Amino acid sequence: MKNYLKQRYKTYVHVLFGLLIGFIVATLLFDKPDYKSAIFAMALGLIVGESIVFFKWSKNKRKEKH
């Protein structure tokens, strides 16, 4: 259980990092951010964060096979 919680904590760190990237991109691209750009930033950040988690998961899965 401790290992699972540790792994989930690392996952959330990556997702939050992705959200941070999304917000930085939105503030740089838009002069006056509104709700639409905030939703776009959140979606972009979630996609980036979740893809980091997915690529790490698939890399670990390949290591387990060999």
pLDDT digits (tens, 9 = 90+) for 10-28: 778 877 887 788 778 777 8
pTM score over 0.75 = no
Mean pLDDT of 28-52: 79
Mean pLDDT of 30-45: 78
* pLDDT greater than 80 at residue 55: yes
> For residue 48, how many other CB atoms are within 10 A of its CB?
19
* Percent of the residues in the chain that have a pLDDT greater than 90, as a whole number: 0
Contact predicate 36/14, CB 8 Å: no
